[in-house]
Structures are given as C-alpha cells and as structure tokens.
Amino acid sequence: MLRYDRRVHFLAACFSGVAGYVDAIGFLLTGGFFVSFMSGNSTRLGIGMAEGSSQAGFAAVLLMAFVIGVMMGTITGRIAGRHRQVAVLGLVTLLLAIAVLLHSLGAGILVALPMVLAMGAENTVFAEDGEVRIGLTYMTGALVKVGKRLTTALTGGDRWSWLPFMLLWSGLAAGAVAGALAYGAFGVYALVGAVVLMAVMTLVTAAIGPISTRGPHPS
C-alpha cells in the first residue's frame, strides 16, 4: 500500500469507512453478527456449534453470502474490463439499495444478506491478477502493519510508513461510529446514507479513471 498514490489511500479509507458504517448497522440489526467482518462471524460459528445453538446456522449463512459476494464482484469486474472498479462499486451500491428496499418490505433480518453480499463485493475493488491488493473490510492485517512500521520508525527507518495503514483502520472505525449513531436515529434506513455515499464514490472513481494496484503488495 505504501507505493500507491494519495488517490488510492484516500479512496481506500473512504471505502473502509462505508464498510464500517454498514457493519455497525448490520451488527445492531442482527444482534451481534457482522456483515463485513467475517473473522467475527467465524468465531460466532464456532461458539454456536460448541453450544448447539441455531446461531451457528445464521453465522454460516453470512459466511457463505460473503464468499458469494466476492464471487459476484470478481465476475462483474472481469466482464467490465477496464471499467472494473466502477462496475464493482455500482454493484455494491445496488446491493445496498436492495437491502433498503427489503427493509421497506418488512424483510426483517434477511436485510443482512444483501448487505453481506455488498461487503464481499467491495473487497474486489482493488483486486488485480486474481489477488486482493487492499482489503477494505478487515483490519487485522492493517494493524499488524501499523505495528511493524512503527517498529521500523522507532529503530531509525521511515518515520511515516505506518500512516497509510492507520488511515485505513481509522476509516473503518470512524464509519462504525457514524453507522451506530445513524442506526440509533433512523434504524435500518440509515443504510440510505451508505447508498448515497457509494453512489457518489462510484461517480468519483469513474471521473478519476482506472486506478492500478498491479504488482507485489508490500508487507
């Protein structure tokens, strides 16, 4: 991520912010499950299986939906070719809009399914050559890199190499705060904000043009 220009850093932080926003709404909607953080759902799956709880089944459905979302994003990107990023962002926007529609129709907890699909697809925005260059909805790797780069800075290396990874994490955390506050005020209809944000970022990305992240990902 260090070799990417400021456009990539800014957009990645914005996309992570939307992921945090949507994840907070999903967490509150489902009573403690995640729509973008699949490590948490994997833990919920394991605990549910150990306890013989039906929650294990719901966690499994969310995990499968996330993988399907990644597949949808990948296929959409391949079909769109050089317009891959815009097409994937359009797909994410559409899926979030479907979630709002389902909520208006009284779908209840099933609203979480298009939310999970959207978050899976979002992770393919910065994918090239079959590899995800920047993960947008999971921050464990980013925090590991913050720790590694801070160590480098404290031992005489680049003083600011940790900043892009901290920016990515901060986007997700700030989005989660905003999502929780919006859910408290508007309920699931807070997702309308995410739809608008994704639509705007889709247009911005279209105006900027294709952003390449080709090459080895730095550790």
Report whether pLDDT(3) > 80.
no
Of 134, 137, 156, 132, nearest to 145 by C-alpha is 134
- Does 219 fall in a domain? no
Q: What is the DSSP string of 156-212?
A: TS-TTTTHHHHHHHHHHHHHHHHHHHHHHHHGGGGHHHHHHHHHHHHHHHHHH----
Per-residue model confidence (pLDDT) at position 128 = 65
- Does 161 fall in a domain? yes
- Does 218 fall in a domain? no
Per-residue model confidence (pLDDT) at position 164 = 84
Report whether pLDDT(2) > 90.
no
> Residue 40 sits in which domain range?
6-207
The total of structural domains in the chain comes to: 1
- Does 26 fall in a domain? yes
Report whether pLDDT(84) > 70.
yes
- Does 153 fall in a domain? yes
CATH code, 162: 1.20.1250
Q: Count of residues for the chain?
A: 219
Percentage, residues of the chain above pLDDT 70: 88
Indicate the SS3 state at residue 136. Answer: coil
- Does 111 fall in a domain? yes
Answer yes or no: are the C-beta atoms of 25 and 183 closer than 8 Å.
Answer: yes
C-alpha–C-alpha distance, residues 209 and 164, integer Å: 22
- Does 103 fall in a domain? yes
- Does 38 fall in a domain? yes
